Amino acid sequence: MKSKPDKCPKCGSAKVANILYGMPIFNEKLERGLESGEVTLGGCCITDDDPLWLCTACDHRWGKREARISTTEN
């Protein structure tokens, strides 16, 4: 996964959150991330065009997930 940017490319704010997709398992770590603004929920539907990061100052979303290819060897 790509490393989290230090600032928003649109407004320059440092308030950048990771967008978490899928059905999250709520625990203390996730709750702290949500409360601090370091994490935001992106929904349970996952597509190839989902952005990785959200600027919580200007609502700009950017970044692209890397394709995950799984192979099974017998």
- Residue type at position 49: D
3-46: pLDDT as tens digits: 889 999 999 999 999 999 999 999 999 999 999 999 999 999 98
What pTM was estimated for this model as a whole? Answer: 0.80
- How far apart are alpha carbons 40 and 33 in whole angstroms? 8
3-class secondary-structure state, position 17: strand
